[in-house]
C-alpha cells in the first residue's frame, strides 16, 4: 500500500489569489447545502460588510466576538441617531479606522454616509463606499481593481 499525502488546501493561482478563499457572511447555504464560500472580490465584499456591521468593544459595550472583542466597528452606536454633520464625520472616522485595522486588502477612495427611515420604523445608517482592491499588503501596493462600489446598511 502506497502512502499518499493528505492535501489540506490547493494553492490558488491567478491575479486575485492573494485575496484568499473563505466563508461568505452573512452565513448562508449554497446549492450543495454547505456553507457558501467564495474567493477574490466577492470574499472581500463580504469581509468589508462583516467588519463594518460587527460590534467592537466600546466604553459602553463588550465586543461581539469573545475571542477578539476589538474586531468590528463602533458604527452601531450611531444607528437611530440624527444624521447631522457631527454624526456623519464620526461615522466616517469609524469606517476609516475599522478598514485600516481589519481590511488591508482595500483602499477607500470615496465614502457617503446617510441615515434613511425604514418602513418598520426607526432608521438605518447607509454607508456607500468606493474603494480599490490592492495587490498585496505592502508599502508598494498596486491596484488590481479600482472603483469597486459597495453599500453597507446598518439597522
Residues, the chain? 155
Is residue 29 a contact partner of residue 16, using CB atoms and an 8 Å limit? no
Mean pLDDT of 9-19: 60
pLDDT at position 10 is: 45
Lowest mean pLDDT among 1-15, 60-74, 80-94: 1-15
User: CA–CA separation, 16 vs 42, rounded Å?
Assistant: 11
pTM summary value = 0.81
Helices assigned H by DSSP within the chain: 41-53, 85-102
- Domain architecture of the chain: domains with CATH: 17-154 (3.10.450.40)
pLDDT at position 8 is: 41
Is residue 144 a contact partner of residue 15, using CB atoms and an 8 Å limit? yes
The pLDDT tens digits of the residues spanning 113-124 come to 988 888 887 788
The pLDDT tens digits of the residues spanning 68-80 come to 999 999 999 988 7
Instruction: Count Cα neighbours of 1 within 13 Å in the Cβ-side half-sphere.
Output: 2
Amino acid at each position: 500500500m502506497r502512502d499518499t499525502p493528505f492535501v489540506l488546501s490547493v494553492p490558488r493561482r491567478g491575479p486575485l489569489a492573494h485575496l484568499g478563499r473563505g466563508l461568505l457572511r452573512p452565513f448562508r447555504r449554497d446549492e450543495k447545502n454547505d456553507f457558501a464560500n467564495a474567493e477574490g472580490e466577492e470574499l472581500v465584499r463580504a469581509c468589508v460588510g462583516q467588519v463594518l456591521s460587527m460590534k467592537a468593544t466600546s466604553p459602553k459595550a463588550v465586543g461581539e466576538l469573545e475571542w477578539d472583542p476589538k474586531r468590528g466597528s463602533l458604527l452601531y452606536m450611531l444607528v437611530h441617531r440624527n444624521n447631522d454633520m457631527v454624526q456623519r464625520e464620526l461615522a466616517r472616522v469609524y469606517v476609516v479606522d475599522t478598514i485600516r485595522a481589519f481590511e488591508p486588502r482595500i483602499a477607500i477612495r470615496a465614502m457617503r454616509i446617510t441615515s434613511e427611515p425604514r418602513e418598520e420604523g426607526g432608521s438605518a445608517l447607509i454607508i456607500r463606499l468606493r474603494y480599490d482592491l490592492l495587490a498585496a499588503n505592502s508599502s508598494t501596493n498596486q491596484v488590481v481593481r479600482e472603483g469597486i462600489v459597495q453599500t453597507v446598511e446598518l439597522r
